[in-house]
Amino acid sequence: MTTVAVLGTGAHVPERVVPNNEAGAGAGVDGSWILRKTAIRERRWAAPDEATSDLATAAARAALDSAGITADQLSVIVVATSTPDRPQPPTAAYVQHRLGARDAAAFDLNAVCSGAVFALATAEAALARSGGCALVVGADVYSRILDPADRRTVVLFGDGAGAMVLGPARRGGGIRHCALHTFGELADLIQVPAGGSRRSCDAEALAAGLHYFAMDGRAVREFVAGRLPQLVKQFLHDAAVSPGDVRHVVPHQANGVLLDQLVAELGLPRAETHRTLTHYGNTGAASIPITLDTAARAGAFRPGELILLAGFGGGMAAGLALIEW
C-alpha cells in the first residue's frame, strides 16, 4: 500500500467582487446586517461566460504547478461539485480535456459542501492500491442557482474552485485518516427541488422558484452543532491522535458566526482555524481546498504538522480527513 500525500494545491476565483450591499440588495438587507450575521464582507461571482469547469481547470493548473507534475502524469481526476456545467457529461471530462490529461479517468462526485473531502478520500483509496497521481478539485458556481430575494442564501455564497494533487509521499507525511458520513434522513434540509428526475424544471417549477437553491438554515445549524463535534472526537480517537496534536483546522467555510461556535466545541486546544469566507463567502465544495491553498501559500504549515479538514453540508453529510504535512 502506497502512502498518499498532498503534493500541491491551487485555487481560482472569478474576477468580479460582489460586496455585501450588492449581494443583499434584492433581499432587502444591507451590508452591516450580512457582516453581523455571517462575518462575510464580500464574495466573487462568475462572469456570464464562466462555468464551473473554467474555474476548476484554472485551479487544477495552479495545483499541478505547485506539485511540479504535468497533466499527463495523472491517472485519476475527481471533480466535486453540485453545480456542474451540465447534467451530462461530467464536468470532470471538460477539465480532463482542457488539461490534456489523456490517461486520467475523470468523473464527478456530488456530496455538496463536503464534496472535496469525499473526493480526497476516494482518490486516496485508489492511489493507495495502484500508485500514480490524482487531481482532486472542488468547484462550484452557486451564483447561478441563488434566489436574489432569499436573504437566507443569497448573501452566503460565492463562486470558486480549489484543487489538490495527490501522489506518493516524497518526504514523509501523508493522508493519515479519512471518514465519511451521510445522514440521508435529513436530505431535504438543503436542496434544489427541480431540475432532476423527481421534478423537471418546467414552466411551473420555474414560476415557483423551484430551480433555486433552498436551505433550512436553523436545522442546518442544529445539525452542525449537534453532530460534528462528536464526529470529530470519534474520528481522532479512531486515528489514534490526541486533540492536542492537531495544529490546524481547515473547515468548510459555511458562515463565520457558525464557525466561531463550532470551533469552540471541537476541543482542539492548539489548533489554528483557517478562514477565507470573509472575502470569498461560502464557495461550496471549493471552500476547503481554497482555504487549504491560501494557508499553504502563506506558509502556515510546517512539515509534520497535523491538519484536520472538516467538511459538512447537504446530504446531510460530513467528511473528515487528517493530513500530516
Residues marked as catalytic: 113, 252, 282
Matching residue, cell 486520467: 104
Q: How far, in whole angstroms, is CA 160 from its chain's centroid?
A: 9
Bridge partners of residue 81, in order along the sequence: none
As a whole number of angstroms, the distance between CA 21 and CA 9 comes to 32
Q: Read off the DSSP letter of residue 196.
A: S
Q: Are 120 and 166 in contact (CB under 8 A)?
A: yes
Distances (CA, A) of 99 to 54, 94, 105: 11, 9, 13
Count other C-beta atoms under 10 Å from residue 14's C-beta: 21
As a whole number of angstroms, the distance between CA 237 and CA 241 comes to 6
Residues comprising the chain, all counted: 325
Q: Is 88 left (phi over 0), alpha (psi -120 to 50) or beta?
A: beta
Q: Read off the DSSP letter of residue 294.
A: H
- Please report the DSSP string for 32-61 in residue order: HHHHHHH---EEE---TT--HHHHHHHHHH
Matching residue, cell 461550496: 284
Greatest CA separation for the chain: 57
As a whole number of angstroms, the distance between CA 137 and CA 164 comes to 6
Tell me the angle at which helices 52-67 and 91-99 cross, rounded to the nearest 10 degrees: 50
- Quote the Cα angle for 224-324-246, to 5°: 50
